[in-house]
């Protein structure tokens, strides 16, 4: 059984909205709903666990209750940090779950293909995260702002979500992080410090995290592009069918 935890308790201050960015409309639906619907369409996913601000739990319950097509879900209280929200979600996943994914609620453009690939790799390796090769040259700078070195770009990857793990691996990593009072940047960072390896799976450059108004604009463009491609494919099939009948 595969469960997915969605940390969604942040307020998204960089969006400058004054409310949680997951409520922002994207292609006619809240960002959160777009994300949950994609995972709900994925055959390999069994359960959704959404960790939200305790003050927003009631409104989330009402929103999700009106949305058809969702996989079975649970809503839990999030924490002051992303890691704490994930831990609360981990404590709420079904006892039958043997694989747990963690995905940013503000990454609504994730594809079913990438989700499936992460799950498949977790089955093989125990831990897997999706990522994409870095396009730009990056630099390490000193305290004065001068470049110290330029890492080899061919060895640099930008980590995305979902990040997936055998449930016991993620639970053990969170337990150790609590004992050591360690706060990681993501699940891969807290799992790796337990000595376990994490396998990279090819992600998708469209799988952007919406953190700024520019990101939202890009997401709208990408949604429109996908919709346009879908319509184009339908029309092409129709024309092909008509031409076939005429030739007969």
Q: So where are the chain's domains?
A: 2-209
Assigned CATH topology for domain 2-209: Spore Coat Polysaccharide Biosynthesis Protein SpsA; Chain A (3.90.550)
Q: Dihedral sign, CA of 173, 177, 180, 184?
A: positive
Measured CA to CA, the distance from residue 22 to residue 35 in angstroms comes to 9
Distance CA 216, CA 211 (A): 8
- Candidates 139, 225, 229, 126; CA nearest to 170 is 126
Residue corresponding to tokens 């999030």: 78
pLDDT of residue 153: 87
**What gap in Å lies between CA 83 and CA 5, rounded to an integer?**
11
> pLDDT tens, position by position, for the chain (248 residues)?
999 999 998 765 655 566 678 888 888 899 999 999 999 999 999 999 999 999 999 989 999 998 899 999 999 999 999 999 999 999 999 999 999 999 999 999 999 999 999 999 999 999 999 999 999 999 999 998 899 999 998 889 999 999 999 999 999 999 999 999 999 999 999 999 999 999 999 999 999 999 888 999 999 988 887 755 554 545 445 555 655 665 55
Look up the pTM and report it: 0.87
Query: Helix (H, G, I), strand (E, B), or coil: what is residue 201?
Result: strand
């Amino acid at each position: 059984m595969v469960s997915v935890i969605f940390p969604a308790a942040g307020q998204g201050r960089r969006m400058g909205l004054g409310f949680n960015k997951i409520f922002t409309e994207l292609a006619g639906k809240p960002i959160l709903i777009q994300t949950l619907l994609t995972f709900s369409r994925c055959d390999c996913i069994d359960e959704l666990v959404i960790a939200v601000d305790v003050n927003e739990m009631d409104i989330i319950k009402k929103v999700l209750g009106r949305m058809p097509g969702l996989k079975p879900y649970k809503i839990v209280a999030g924490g002051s940090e992303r890691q704490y929200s994930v831990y609360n979600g981990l404590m709420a996943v079904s006892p039958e779950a043997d694989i747990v994914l963690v995905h940013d609620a503000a990454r609504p453009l994730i594809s079913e293909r990438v989700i499936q690939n992460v799950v498949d790799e977790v089955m093989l390796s125990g831990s897997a995260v999706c990522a994409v090769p870095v396009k730009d040259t990056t630099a390490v700078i000193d305290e004065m702002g001068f470049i110290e070195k330029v890492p080899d770009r061919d060895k640099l990857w930008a980590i995305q979500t979902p990040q997936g793990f055998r449930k016991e691996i993620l639970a053990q990593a969170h337990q150790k992080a609590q004992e050591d009072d360690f706060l990681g940047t993501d699940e891969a960072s807290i799992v790796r410090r337990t000595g376990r390896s994490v396998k990279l799976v090819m992600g998708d450059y469209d799988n952007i995290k919406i953190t700024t108004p520019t990101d939202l604009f890009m997401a709208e463009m990408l949604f429109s592009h996908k919709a346009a491609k879908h319509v184009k494919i339908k029309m092409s099939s129709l024309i092909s069918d008509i031409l076939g009948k005429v030739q007969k």
